[in-house]
Amino acid sequence: MHPPAPAGGRRRSPVAMAVALLAAILLSACAGIPEQRAELAEGTTATELDAVPFFPDTAYYCGPASLASTLEWSGYETSPDALGGSLFIPERNGSLQPEMLATARRAGRLAYQIDGRLAAVQRELRAGHPVIVLQNLAFGWWPRWHYAVVVGLYPDDGTVVLRSGERRRHRISFKTFLHTWARAEYWAMVTPAPGGLPATAEPGPLFQALASLEGTAGVGPAIPYWRAAAGRWPESGPYAVGLANAVYAAGDADAARKVLIDALPRVAEGKGVVWNNLANIEAEQGDLAEAEAAAESAVAAGGPHVEQFRDTLADIRCRRGKGACPGAE
């Protein structure tokens, strides 16, 4: 018994159906290529970071090799073998993306996943940042995963340059690159040197990345990045507080206090949190009058944390003998 014929009365052979399926996959992968290329900044010249180190990838070590390349570029001395113990998973013959990010953080570097757009890669390269990308060199249903480092982009002839496999300078077309990158869901990351920030960083995701770095490597490696972020977004209360908290945790309360005082004239978002943190530091240092004034300013600023600000004010007034103490009967 034969299966029913498709609409139109003609049966399609399994081979023909497979070819049609493959064509559909390829066409869907092509769909975003013109748009991606059109997003590149007009009039830009070629960019290539020739000084980015190269580690040949052997025995499925493309993850350690790629990460070693960008970490060495950022000033952290390492090698694929040094990173392989935490990155390489023998049963998978490769490395997972979360471990790529975590291993960079353990090296004291900010690890930031950038937007999966060719224009974002271009912006990072123009800022001097090599970009690690994940590619699928085969098919969605039969993947062959591969990490490479984008070090160059040539808009005129539509090519990118990769540190890839055993090739220090692997130049491929935008079309090929975007096909293989798309099949890995456009995953990409950068590891800026201390004090540097991704050119394409957004405030929310960057804050989370900085908090993850601090949680992994401690406040010391995180401070230069916090300082750079507070400088890029001087109107952001959360970044001022993030920097102040890191400096305070490093043992310098005076510097943390100065960070907050200097930030207040510029901060437009989260000013109450800045005032409240300043009040806590001043109270700890014994400057209770200044602490009370700062806490009053925090309460006046309001916001979603105003009850916490009121608690801070009540505690300081208690210590000054000016009001009932929390918990007292």
Amino acid 41: pLDDT = 64
- Span 297-325, average pLDDT: 93
- Mean pLDDT over 254-258 rounds to 98
Amino acid letter for position 262: D
Task: Inform me whether the pLDDT recorded for 31 exceeds 70.
Answer: no
pLDDT score for 42: 63
pLDDT tens digits for 268-278? 999 999 999 99
Task: Express each pLDDT in 203-247 by its tens digit.
Answer: 999 999 999 999 999 999 999 999 999 999 999 999 999 999 999
pLDDT tens per residue, range 159-182: 999 999 999 999 999 999 999 999
pLDDT band at 34 (very low <50, low <70, confident <90, very high): low
Give the Cα separation of 156 and 159 in Å (integer): 8
What gap in Å lies between CA 250 and CA 69, rounded to an integer?
A: 30
Residue-range domains of the chain with CATH: 47-190 (3.90.70.10), 211-319 (1.25.40.10)
Please provide the average confidence, as pLDDT, over all residues in the chain: 88
Tell me what percent of the residues of the chain surpass a pLDDT of 70: 86
Name the pTM for this structure: 0.86
**Integer angstrom CA distances of residue 122 from 70, 117, 153:** 16, 9, 7
CB 124 within 8 A of CB 199: yes
pLDDT at position 5 over 80 = no
**Average pLDDT score over residue span 81-91:** 83
Least confident of 23-27, 100-104, 181-185, 308-312: 23-27
